[in-house]
């Protein structure tokens, strides 16, 4: 069996352009689907897929580890988030081919089932991006949280940490505390709530101020309390925080996670399977994390193929905690994919079809061609006009 071609299909989903990757083989009707979505970097990623394709043409698609080594080591330059996202999408498709060729689901190839269902959470607005990133009012917050619960979820994530500089003002801290208390009162004690800081606090002290303000909420975890790359800062936050700390969505490859794990700088890691290098790399990250007694809660605000890949990974990952999913981000989310997995309350069932068990409807996908995504980052300003982290 040989790879004969690698294609990418862009599907505009407002906040993001989904990048679907299709790997073709010389076997009639045998091909694989993956996803390489990276917000605001669509053209760069599709270009990277084209650049990587010649390295794999003629190779056996079932030699997945070898394919990943070729793409990383024979690219010469170190691959950052764009290159590793392209590799991830291609790698997903190779797993899909391998599963289809053997007639088994991908999770079976990843070591087999370690759970009977996969727990999910979603965001305010059930994936609507304006609700996700622009809910700073207590009334809207509780109303949108109730809508998530009414949809059957028992876990949700919020993003209401204000844009911050080196310090957190008393007014900002009180407002975050009020939002946390209102949210907990609205959803009750049985609902898990995660708070995404989005790396907005510029210092450890500012971050810890917000973490302490959230203690009445008792979050499942506080995510990205500072910008990625500051391992020493995370060590200080973990030591001082009463809430679990999560991070990792912007890291790629097991090496970038290694320092965090060696320093015990997080309680939960969030590799994005679209960006970290794919499922094989994510398995290495999970194994390393298990040794360090760290949980895995993969990041995934992307499209339906990314969600399916994450589902198969979760089925086979012992230290998995919970999976992010945004199936309501556009009304036609499931139209572009045939045989989508159906959520059962706050869980996904274990799939049993060969490969990932899904197929892209290319005619439906073509109805949503590339467009410039909606940019929310233009609001990341302080009152005096200083540009800060989104």
Domain boundaries, the chain: 3-103, 109-356
Structure confidence at residue 326 (pLDDT): 86
Structure confidence at residue 125 (pLDDT): 84
Ranges of residues in the chain whose predicted pLDDT is under 70? 127
Q: What is the pTM of this model?
A: 0.96
3-state SS track over the chain: CCEEEEEEEEEEECCEEEEEEEEEECCCCCEEEEECCCCCCHHHHHHHHHHHHHHHCCCCCCCHHHHHHHHHHCCCCCCCHHHHHHHHHHHHHHHHHHHHHHCCEHHHHCCCCCCCEEEEEEEHHHHCHHHHHCCCCHHHHHHHHHHHHHCCCCEEEECCCCCCCCCCCHHHHHHHHHHHHHHHHHHCCCCEEEEECCCCCCCHHHHHHHHHHCHHHCCCEEECCCCCCCHHHHHHHHHHCCCCEEECCCCCHHHHHHHHHHCCCCCEECCECCCCCCHHHHHHHHHHHHHCCCEECCECCCCHHHHHHHHHHHHCCCCECCEECCCCCCCCCCCCEECCCCCECCEEECCCCCECCCEECHHHHCCCCCCCCCCCHHHCECCCCCECCC
Structure confidence at residue 26 (pLDDT): 98
pLDDT digits (tens, 9 = 90+) for 349-387: 999 999 999 999 999 999 999 999 878 777 889 989 999
pLDDT digits (tens, 9 = 90+) for 160-192: 999 988 999 999 999 999 999 999 999 999 999
Q: Which two tokens stand for residue 183?
A: 């949210």
Structure confidence at residue 127 (pLDDT): 67
Structure confidence at residue 377 (pLDDT): 77
Structure confidence at residue 183 (pLDDT): 97
Under CATH, to which class is 109-356 assigned?
alpha beta
CATH architecture of the domain with residue range 3-103: 2-Layer Sandwich (3.30)
Q: Are 102 and 306 in contact (CB under 8 A)?
A: no
Query: Strands 347-349 and 117-123: what pairing?
Result: antiparallel
Catalytic residue numbers?
198, 299
User: Which of 249, 247, 178, 232 is CA-nearest to residue 210?
Assistant: 178
């Amino acid at each position: 069996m040989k790879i004969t071609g690698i294609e990418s299909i862009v599907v505009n989903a407002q906040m993001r352009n989904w990048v679907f990757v299709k790997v073709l083989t010389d076997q009639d009707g045998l091909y694989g689907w993956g996803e390489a979505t990276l917000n605001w970097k669509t053209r760069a990623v599709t270009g990277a897929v084209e650049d990587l394709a010649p390295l794999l043409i003629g190779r056996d698609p079932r030699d997945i580890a070898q394919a990943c080594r070729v793409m990383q080591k024979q690219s010469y330059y170190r691959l950052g988030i764009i290159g590793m996202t392209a590799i991830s999408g291609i790698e997903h498709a190779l797993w899909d081919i391998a599963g289809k060729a053997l007639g088994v689901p991908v999770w079976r190839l990843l070591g087999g089932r370690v759970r009977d269902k996969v727990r999910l959470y979603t965001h305010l607005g059930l994936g609507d991006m304006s609700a996700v990133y622009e809910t700073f009012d207590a009334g809207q917050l509780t109303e949108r949280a109730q809508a998530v619960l009414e949809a059957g979820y028992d876990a949700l994530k919020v993003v209401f940490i204000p844009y911050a500089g080196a310090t957190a003002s008393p007014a900002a801290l009180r407002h975050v505390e009020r939002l946390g208390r209102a949210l907990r009162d609205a959803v009750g004690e049985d609902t898990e709530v995660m708070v995404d800081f989005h790396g907005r606090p510029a210092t450890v002290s500012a971050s810890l101020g917000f973490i302490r303000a959230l203690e009445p909420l008792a979050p499942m975890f506080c995510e990205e309390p500072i910008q990625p790359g500051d391992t020493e800062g995370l060590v200080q936050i973990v030591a001082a925080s009463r809430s679990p700390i999560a991070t990792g969505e912007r890291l790629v490859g097991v090496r970038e996670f290694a320092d965090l794990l060696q320093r015990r700088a997080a309680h939960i890691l969030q590799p994005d399977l679209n960006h970290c290098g794919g499922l094989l790399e994510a398995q290495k990250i999970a194994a390393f994390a298990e040794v360090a007694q760290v949980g895995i809660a993969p990041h995934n605000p992307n499209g339906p193929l990314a969600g399916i890949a994450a589902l198969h990974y979760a089925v086979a990952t012992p230290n998995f905690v919970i999976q992010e999913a945004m199936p309501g981000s556009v009304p036609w989310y499931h139209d572009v994919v045939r045989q989508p997995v159906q959520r059962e309350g706050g869980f996904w069932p274990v799939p049993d079809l060969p490969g990932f068990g899904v197929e892209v409807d290319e005619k439906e996908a073509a109805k949503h061609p590339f467009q410039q995504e909606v940019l929310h980052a233009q609001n990341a300003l302080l009152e005096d006009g200083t540009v800060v982290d989104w």
